[in-house]
Amino acid sequence: MTYDFLVIGGGIAGTSAGAALSEQGSVCLLEGEDALAYHASGRSAALYEAQYGLPSTTALNRASRHAHETLDGGLLSPRGLMLLAAPGEDDAFATDCTKMHLDRLSLSEAQAIVPILDLSHITAAAHHADAWDIDTDRMVHHYARRIRAGGAVHTGTRVTAITRLKNGWRVMANGTPYEARNLVNAAGAWADQIAVLAGLAPLGLTPLRRSMARMPAPGGHDVSGWPMLFGVGESWYAKPDAGAWLVSPAEEGAVDAPHDAYADDMVLAEGIARYQPFVTQEVTRVTASWAGLRTFAPDRNLVIGTDPADPAFLWNAGQGGYGFQTAPAAAGLLADLVGNRPPDLDAQTVAQLSPSRFR
């Protein structure tokens, strides 16, 4: 069988793109791991924060909001976000407040929301309620169901070769050929490698490690209603998760090559040390840790659209840390471009996201 679209990558980029494109033809999705959303998508902080990212990213965030609120009955639940400053961070704190549209709080107001805050160290706090947890698992599987309705999703199917045919592509995966008229590169940290296999130039995508530690809820508190906490300049963050507490160093660690990432113990320790002075409860035990690769284009804008060297090769890559919150609009833009429809996004944003900017 020859599909209309063959999607490589089963994270949020691939599943959302496949679902959007399924309205224009048959879709087959190939994922090398045994489960969807195994790598970066499965290790996301899972927050919808519309003001987070470059202008092109925030445009995608805003355009995605309605889908987040309505898909599968709605994917969002209240979380909120609180920014905390330490001595010497006043100017950077003010910049972050402006960029993220945060309202300043008194320190006592901040402590009333998160009672473990150490006011002997914190010099300023700001907050807004318009930040939301995303049900990421439900989102991925919603999109996968849409693909399966008229196509196929194959996990444990690793791509080893790609050949350009006269009227499309042949992809070899696990010794089986798959053919399609269009190829969608949604391979995350491996997206440049897929381009090279297809005989196209890579874009210079860079995967960067980010680590996370899970620990018991501080002091036995019920943390379910607490906001996500950020250090100024995103020097660390902490977040409730299923009754436990997550702390991330928020690092961007360079890696030699895409791989199944794992947390670096020293980096985790340094991140926890940055977080520790802001709270009264000492971190004494980490119950689990992990890491994911957040992949960025050189200019840190996402990459969405047709490759200028081959219009049958489509990019949905370079999501960085913004994959889930941008996914509905990013996939919609790709479908609009393929279908020759006027995009909902403005022309400047579309140009900032286009793969043509690198050629």
Q: Is the pLDDT of residue 1 over 90?
A: no
Question: Is residue 88 pLDDT above 90, yes or no?
Answer: yes
- As beta bridge partners, residue 288 has 214
pLDDT digits (tens, 9 = 90+) for 189-243: 999 999 999 999 999 999 999 999 999 999 999 999 999 999 999 999 999 999 9
326 closest CA partner among 6, 41, 4: 41
The tokens for 261 are 């990432």
Average pLDDT over residues 342-359: 96
Nearest alpha-carbon partner for 262 in 224, 210, 300, 306: 210
What pLDDT is recorded for position 35?
97
Q: What is the dihedral of CA 13, 44, 210, 113, to 10 degrees?
A: 140
Structure-block tokens of residue 259: 């791989």
| Mean pLDDT for all residues in the chain | 97
Q: Do residues 6 and 182 touch, judged by C-beta distance below 8 A?
A: yes
* pLDDT at residue number 359: 78
Over the stretch 132-172, which tens digit does the pLDDT of each residue have?
999 999 999 999 999 999 999 999 999 999 999 999 999 99
Q: Report angle CA 276, 281, 283 to the nearest 5 degrees.
A: 60
Q: Tell me, what's the pLDDT at 95?
A: 96
Tell me how far the alpha carbon of residue 340 is from its chain's centroid.
27
pTM of this prediction exceeds 0.85: yes
Domains of the chain: 2-68+135-205+298-358 (3.50.50.60), 81-128+207-296 (3.30.9.10)
